[in-house]
Structure 1
Amino acid sequence: MKEEFPQTAAPAPGNRPSRPPAGEAPARPLPLEPWEGSAILLVDLDAFFASVEQLDHPAWRGKPVIVGGDADKHGVVSTASYEARPYGVRSAMPSSTARRLCPDAIWTHGRFDRYREVSNAIMAILRSETPHVQQVSIDEAFLDVTPTVVNREHPVRVAQRIQRRVEELGVTCSIGAGTSKTIAKIASDMDKPRGLTVVYPGSERDFLAPLPVRVMSGIGASAEEKLKSRGIRTLGQLADADLRMLERVFGKLGRVMHVRANGGDDAPVEQDDAVKSVSNEMTFATDLTRREDVEAAIATMAAKVGRRLRRKGLRGRTLALRVKFDDLSVRSVQRQLPRPSDDELAYTPLLYAMVDEVWRPGTPLRLIGVGMSGFSEEGVVQESLFDVAEAAPSADDVEPVVRDERKRRGLIEATDLVKDRFGEAAVRFGHELRNEENTTGSSSKNPADYK
């Protein structure tokens, strides 16, 4: 296998592993450099949704496959197979653009239950390698495989074994290995598909220096432009930049960026149960302009979030609403609840009031999202789920759908029981049916959905 010859991001002269010519059997793995200190892996499943489709449909293998929404209904590409990518097709691209670039591609809306099934099997493999696993999406996870006194196995050998075991399930993964989550994440994108990029301890600065600043998590388009305006285009330039200037421009983020650009990052691999938010959003094939349609969509999203909260045993204090308009601009609003809640019958009317802060009837809406966060101890306010600045009106002015709390809980529990036994579609409310045919068919990689 390709991974028997791990790439080293910053090898010593004359020590770069090579791969055998195509068709030849792999030679014995080359000796590995000693590893001292922390070891983090980022396992990234290659074109995951499309790979599962090709696994289940042998006739699709070797052909361009696109998983996404309808091109004539505001759909977007969820995943494109590697055969589709030479045509310029990428994730999050409008489906209409992807269809123009690759007219002969095989299209599918996707089957999220199947993707979750394969993902769960892969995550079980990862947890059998180490208990220190942090799943960050349906197709990505961090692992802490730092050698210990008890287990001195080399991190690269662990990564190679993971790749072999994942491939036995019929899909592939690319892995980045480094001393931190930042290094591992960047390294995982260097060699796809089926790549293994290793950044040995002490070589972090050399690995990062030539890379553009945008490859680092946390540096978006706005931060990139601010850095470029100050002559900072690479991570090496960022590492050498004046820390006081960065803090003046970016605040606390400036110090974080500087530390990471220098190869430092002590963020731990958190356990999977450290859920920070639960959210759901819907993109519409036809923009919504009437209030009754908007409220129906909000109620649908709120119910999905409430059910997920209850299944995870969570109650949140921070309720958030996000909308996207037809010009693709986005507005968000959030509200701190008086007490933690997982009860959509209590907080849905509050969402109806919150939407007035960001939308007026007649203005076309393309997307609506509802989220809940703030699962920390009571009285501690968590940072905004959607990065918003202003809060909505007071909850004291809003009545729950059912005023009697015992009746509300009884209705919710009865509905959950029916859905647990007969499936999510067993109980359908009017608001759910209202927009049922007005979706794009796009599949989501929302972290809230993967468990």
Structure 2
Amino acid sequence: MDLDTFFVSCAQLQNSKLLGIPLIVGGGDRGVVASCSYEARAFGVRSAMPIKMALRLCPQARIVRGDMEYFSRMSNTVTEIIEERAPVVEKASIDEFYLDVSGMDKVFGCYKWTNELAQTVTKETGLPISFALSVNKTVAKIGTGEGKPRGNLNIPELDVRPFLNPLSVQKIPMVGEVTFRDLSRMGLRTIQTVAETSPEVMQQLLGKNGLEIWRKANGIDNNPVEPYKERKSISTEDTFSEDTIDIAWLKARLSGMVEKLAFQLRDEGWLTSTVSVKVRYANFDTEPKQRKITYTSCDHTLTRHILDLFDILYQRRMRVRMVGVKFSGLVRGTYQIDMFEDTQEMMSLYQAMDKIKRRFGQDAIARGAWNKLKNK
């Protein structure tokens, strides 16, 4: 089940004047599109597109900034409705859910039950939702995308291959633009052509990913629906070998801790709404300080708040033996959700740094202050 244009739908609930017009949820002239209405999509506007480019395609579009706190509350409301009724639920993101309704046909009918659940979600929240019922998570996800808006597809096992075959290979989850270009150059542009290619060839072309793409193209996915469990917080702290009063060194250390935790947020698909700093002095007195913030996973935003809290907290001018950083109030969300305040240049920088860290390890690249600290 997938909430249709979730950010846009939430904004329209807050302001009915936004209904039926080309609408972009994003922020700033140098920002990017977080979500857009179907009226805007008709002009070629897409998520993650720079705002300037979107306005060139659709000059009449209305731009509104997103309210992440409101979006999170609405997502939690939908989650509660689904969890009250479904036997097994996995919340994949802020607006996407997997449900395992195996066995429901014996008592009610899987399609009828799911359709009524979708109607209940819309009735109680005002949010449109699409779903696809099928034999596994991959086919259901592809089907949900194909059925939007307000779609409700039923794809039984015998219909899986006929449904998948004519679709673009880019519809397969995990096939991004780079992989799509590589496959296109080899003439593998539809799911059928990939499915009919031998798994050995796909593995030679793309390694393990090639074999996984071949399985998905053939409608094979044995991953279970995993019950939804929400992480409460992530944190780290460092006790020094020698107590220190070097403020510049302490701030550089805090910046490095924030950078590692922020990468973990993005890598695991979280946004934080509460940040806190903890300081332990040489006499073992420990003092914490926390602050509510707009949902984010951006290093520069989190670092600013953490250092500000440290300045407020550290007033005793005693030597420090330990500092800690904690992010709590977490909600599921991809890094794109943080696009309301960020520039395209900043987004590209984060994506490049994260890619390097995933390939070579977290210590492969860091900001200047943290690098200077490590080499001190």
TM-score (norm 2): 0.67
Post-superposition Cα deviations, 1:96-143, rounded to whole Å, max 9, x if no partner, equal: 112222223222111111111111111111112213111111111111
Structure 2 counterparts to residues 160-171 of structure 1, below 5 A: 160-168=115-123, 169-171=125-127
Structure 1, unmatched stretches of 5+, are 1-42, 276-308, 315-341, 356-367, 374-383, 387-399, 444-451
Any residues of structure 2 matched to 1:114-153 within 5 Å, and which?
A: 114-147=70-103, 152-153=107-108
* Distance apart, 1:55 and its partner CA: 1.1
> In 2, Cα distance between the equivalents of 1:272 and 1:186?
21
Provide Cα deviations, 1:57-87, integer angstroms capped at 9, x if missing partner. 122222222110112xx20111112222222
Which runs of 5 or more residues in structure 2 are unaligned?
A: 240-249, 269-276, 295-303, 312-337, 343-376
Report the CA distance shift for 1:407/1:181 in structure 2 as closer, same or farther (over 3 A): farther
Partner of 2:289: 415
Give the conservation status (yes or no) of the 8 Å contact 1:135–1:272: yes
Q: Is contact 1:77–1:442 with CA below 8 Å preserved after alignment? A: no
Higher helix share: 2
Asked if structure 1 preserves the Cα contact closer than 8 Å seen for 2:169 and 2:175, the reply is: yes
Instruction: Within 5 Å, give how 1:310-349 maps onto structure 2.
Output: 311-312=232-233, 342-343=235-236, 349=253
Residues paired across the two proteins, number: 287
Rate the CA distance shift 1:212–1:165 in 2: closer, same or farther, 3 A: same
* Structure 1 equivalent of residue 18 of structure 2: 60
- State the alpha-carbon separation in 2 of the partners of residues 79 and 440 from structure 1: 10
Amino acid across the alignment from 1:161: E
Kept after mapping to 1: 8 A contact 2:254/2:307: no
**Which position in structure 1 is the counterpart of 2:164?**
208
Q: 1:349–1:123: structure 2 CA closer, same or farther, 3 Å change rule?
A: same
Q: Distance in 2 between matches of 1:371 and 1:131?
A: 33
**Aligned Cα RMSD in Å?**
3.5
2:92 is paired with a residue whose SS is strand
SS of the residue aligned with 2:264?
strand
Instruction: Decide whether aligned partners of structure 1 residues 401 and 117 sit closer, same or farther in structure 2, where only a CA change above 3 A counts.
Output: closer
Quote the offset at 1:432 in angstroms: 7.6
Report deviation, 1:264: 1.2
Q: 1:50-129 to 2 correspondence within 5 Å? A: 50-71=8-29, 74-129=30-85
CA distance in 2, matches of 1:198, 1:440: 34
1:185 is the counterpart of 2:77: no
Structure 1 residues 407, 82: closer, same or farther in 2, change over 3 A?
Answer: farther
- Which secondary structure state, in structure 1, belongs to the residue aligned with residue 39 of structure 2? coil
Q: Secondary structure at the match of 1:372?
A: helix
Cα 1:353–1:83 change in 2 (3 A) is closer
The question of 1:372 aligning with 2:264 is answered yes
1:397-441: CA deviation from partner (whole Å, max 9, x where unpaired):
xxx996769959x33xx324xx4xxx449x95545899xxxx973
Partner secondary structure for residue 162 of structure 1 = helix
User: For residues 404 and 102 of structure 1, do their structure 2 counterparts lie closer, same or farther at Cα, with a shift above 3 Å needed?
Assistant: same
**Alpha carbons of structure 1 residues 401 and 135: separation in structure 2 relative to 1, 3 Å:** closer
1:196 partnered with 2:152 = yes
- Deviation, 1:47, is 1.0
After TM superposition, the score normalised by the length of structure 1 is 0.57
- Determine helix, strand or coil for the equivalent of 1:214: helix
1:155 aligns with 2:110: yes
- 1:440 & 1:247 partners in 2: Cα distance? 35
In structure 2, the CA distance between the partners of 1:228 and 1:165, relative to structure 1 (3 Å rule), is: same
Match of 1:27 in 2: none
Q: Residues 220-231 of structure 1: matches in 2 within 5 Å?
A: 220-231=176-187
Please give the secondary structure, in 2, of the residue aligned with 1:370. helix
What pairs with 1:278-317 in structure 2 (closer than 5 Å)?
311-312=232-233
| Residue 89 (structure 1) shift | 1.7
